[in-house]
Amino acid sequence: MDTRLPPIATAAPDRARALRPLLDAHGAEMDRRREVTPEVVAALVEADMLRLLLPRSLGGQEIHLVEYAKTIEALGYADASVGWFINQSNVSSSTSAAAMPAETARSMWGTPDMGLAWGARHNNSKAVRVEGGYRLTGTWSFASGGRHTTWLGAHSAVQNPDGTPLMRYGRPDDRSFVFRRSEARIIDDWEVLGLRGTGSDTYVVEDLFVPDDRAPARDALEERREPGPLYTLMSTLLYATGFCSVTLGVGRRLFDTYVELARGKHSRASPNAMALNNAIQREIGLLEARLSAARAFLHEAALEAYEAAAAGKLTIDHRIRLRLATTHGMNEATDVSVASYRAAGTTAIMNSAPFERRFRDAMSASQHLQAMLPHIEMVGRHIIGVDNPVRHI
């Protein structure tokens, strides 16, 4: 049966922006509940936000990478947890599906409500090769949006029944495993500073059989079944582009709120209204430049990498440049968020004001691996031309 939906007339960024009033209205409640509300989940499904990157051959939209970045930024502007969840699910679903048999992938993501949540790799896991599949045991954390998805996924190295590493393609086999959420034991431990609405719980499986067709090596080009440029870029840079876009959206929202405050507030620490304060005028101009420049760099690097991948000419230079743009963008957006929060004075600490929750979200997003400065050091090594031992970019 053909499960593909008719083409969606409205562009993805516009559909995301249209969700803003609903996300604004539910933001505090999602933060309190530590999960996306049912009303928001339903709206995201209706807007087909869970299949933005899924191959068209499987019923997805497979949108351009820059269009995707704008979509996630628009969601992040409205609510960081929603943007984070949608990015995590889209990249996980699409890269897994692109390495699976088509019929399996189509049966899993043929309708717009079948998301996938993914946890960080945990050293305490093992996947034993058996007839027809694998026996998976392990614990994984940070399954963003996992309370609202049908599927969970996990990474693990694969071993033979005798405990020795399984070799494939001349290297140890490192594989992804997709299984129903109902097959895992969920640990409700998401007690955190920000991004609370992601509900990023820990989950456990014990000796779970996962068949071959749901155990892709999603970043092994040898197993990639889809030719599109998104799947040539692979998961790490897709995650990075989306998470950077979330932080740019949060940074823009905090900055816009700061500007609105400056137009109408009189600081007790200054004889002048904020709008007439030269220091504030200068700061607002510089923050606008930093945020706009980071966004432009991200979109430029994403466009170059996407077009190179589409032409079959993707190089390490393209990948390195996109890595630089994403890590740099996350750090610039964080600095803008901090400056906007501090400029608001005591107004910023009030739960009733629009700063406090989004500041916590910005700080939590800034701690993600994709924002870590060693990525910048890797770029520097590449530019200089010295030894650069890197597995993933």
356-392: per-residue pLDDT in tens?
Answer: 999 999 999 999 999 999 999 999 999 999 988 765 5
Sequential DSSP letters for 65-106 = HHHHHHHHHHHHHH-HHHHHHHHHHHHHHHHHHTTS-HHHHH
Mean pLDDT for the stretch of residues 262-291: 86
Mean pLDDT of all residues belonging to the chain = 93
How far is the C-alpha of 187 from the C-alpha of 195, rounded, in Å? 18
The confidence score (pLDDT) of residue 8 equals 60
C-alpha dihedral sign at 30, 31, 33, 35: positive
- Residue 192 burial (CB < 10 Å; 0-12/13-18/19+)? middle
133-174: per-residue pLDDT in tens?
Answer: 999 999 999 999 999 999 999 999 999 999 999 999 999 999
Among residues 184, 195, 229, 122, the alpha carbon closest in space to that of 365 is found at: 195
Strand (E) or helix (H) holding 159 = strand 151-159
Strand (E) or helix (H) holding 168 = strand 167-168
- Residue 28 burial (CB < 10 Å; 0-12/13-18/19+)? middle
Report the amino acid identity of residue 271: P
Structure tokens given for 76? 């992040």
Q: How many C-beta neighbours within 10 Å does residue 232 have?
A: 18
Coil, helix or strand at residue 328: helix
pLDDT at 270 over 70: no
Mean pLDDT for the stretch of residues 38-46: 97
The confidence score (pLDDT) of residue 388 equals 83
The confidence score (pLDDT) of residue 121 equals 66
The confidence score (pLDDT) of residue 3 equals 36
Work out the pLDDT band at 31, boundaries 50, 70, 90.
very high
pLDDT at 114 over 90: no
The confidence score (pLDDT) of residue 390 equals 65
- Count the alpha carbons within 13 Å of 377 in the hemisphere toward its beta carbon: 7
Coil, helix or strand at residue 136: strand
Work out the pLDDT band at 2, boundaries 50, 70, 90.
very low
Q: Give the pairing type, strands 125-130 and 151-159.
A: parallel
Mean pLDDT for the stretch of residues 234-259: 97
The confidence score (pLDDT) of residue 352 equals 85
Mean pLDDT for the stretch of residues 73-77: 98
Coil, helix or strand at residue 30: helix
The confidence score (pLDDT) of residue 1 equals 32
pLDDT at 269 over 60: no
Mean pLDDT for the stretch of residues 233-237: 95
Q: What domains lie within the chain, and their CATH numbers?
A: 12-114 (1.10.540.10), 117-221 (2.40.110.10), 229-384 (1.20.140.10)
120-129, 285-294, 331-340, 363-372: which range is least confident on average?
A: 120-129
The confidence score (pLDDT) of residue 245 equals 98
The share of the chain scoring above pLDDT 70, in percent, equals 94
Structure tokens given for 8? 């969606």
Work out the pLDDT band at 50, boundaries 50, 70, 90.
very high
Query: Could you say which DSSP state residue 184 is in?
Result: S
Mean pLDDT for the stretch of residues 221-236: 94
CA dihedral 199, 200, 205, 210 (to 10 degrees): 100
Residues counted in the chain:
393
Among residues 189, 216, 193, the alpha carbon closest in space to that of 204 is found at: 189
pLDDT at 276 over 80: yes
The confidence score (pLDDT) of residue 335 equals 98
How far is the C-alpha of 383 from the C-alpha of 187, rounded, in Å? 44
Query: Could you say which DSSP state residue 296 is in?
Result: H
Coil, helix or strand at residue 187: strand
